[in-house]
Amino acid sequence: MADVTATTGEKTGKTPTQKEKTGSKKKGFMKGVKSEFKKVTWPDRTTVLKESGSVIVLTVILGLIISVIDAALELGLGFLMGL
């Protein structure tokens, strides 16, 4: 299939190679990514700090809860195995 130029509409007589097709797909993809990043609403510094702090605190609390449950199960199984 011959390639058609966009401006004149005439046939160029050459078909795009696989490498050219892949390159144009990558360029199109990167253009799309760039345009989508322009649409993103980035949070301000205080919002990021508050949300990061919340995540850290909740992670520590959850870690402590899991540690307590693990210790209780270990003691319970140790007691049962010692019988």
Q: Could you report the per-residue pLDDT of 41-66, keeping only the tens digit for each?
A: 989 999 999 999 999 999 999 999 99
The predicted-structure confidence for 6-31, as pLDDT tens digits, reads as follows: 555 556 666 666 555 666 777 888 99
| 29-52 core/surface letters (b: 16 or more CB in 10 A; e: else) | eeeeeeeeeeeeeeeeeeeeeeee
- pLDDT at residue 10 in the model: 58
Whole-angstrom Cα distance, residue 17 to residue 3? Answer: 11
- pLDDT at residue 43 in the model: 94
- pLDDT at residue 51 in the model: 97
Q: Is the pTM of this model over 0.85?
A: no
Whole-angstrom Cα distance, residue 14 to residue 56? Answer: 59
